[in-house]
């Protein structure tokens, strides 16, 4: 069975219903998303820095709030291996280990740094 609890919000109105602070967070993430997309276009030397931003005008982002229960050294995998969907994933971690990325044929831990988001593009 799946031990996590979660909530998926697909609009700013959903977030506002849950909490005005969460609505502000969604707004900040939308701005961050557009900045990351612009940075990707610049990093790829595309002629238009807004190339990817123009592809993301339909406001179809979603916010998943996940909470995993505490673990011990004997706890197995709490979330099965998967690929994120969409163009990018912005992930805020709380410093609890467990997040891993598949890189060059092996799983490696994703380090936590206070105040930073993990970007999966």
Q: List pLDDT tens digits, range 28-46.
A: 999 999 999 999 999 999 9
Tokens for 113? 């740094």
- Mean confidence (pLDDT) of the chain: 84
> What is the pLDDT, as a whole number, of residue 7?
81
- The arithmetic mean of pLDDT across residues 83-108, rounded, is 82
Q: Is 98 helix (H, G, I), strand (E, B) or coil?
A: coil
Percentage of residues of the chain with pLDDT beyond 70: 85
Cα dihedral 22→93→116→47 (10° resolution): -80
Who wins on pLDDT, 107 or 71? 107
Tokens for 119? 């970007």
């Amino acid at each position: 069975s799946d031990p996590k609890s979660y909530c998926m919000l697909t609009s700013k109105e959903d977030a506002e219903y849950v909490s005005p602070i969460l609505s502000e967070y969604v707004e900040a993430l939308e701005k961050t998303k557009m900045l990351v997309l612009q940075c990707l276009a610049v990093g790829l030397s595309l002629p238009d820095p807004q190339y990817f931003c123009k592809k993301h005008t339909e406001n179809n982002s979603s916010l998943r709030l996940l909470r995993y229960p505490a673990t011990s050294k004997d706890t197995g995998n709490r979330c099965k291996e998967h690929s994120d969907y969409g163009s990018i994933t912005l992930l805020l971690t709380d410093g609890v280990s467990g997040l891993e990325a598949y890189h060059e044929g092996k799983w490696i831990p994703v380090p936590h740094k206070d105040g930073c988001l993990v970007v999966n593009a």
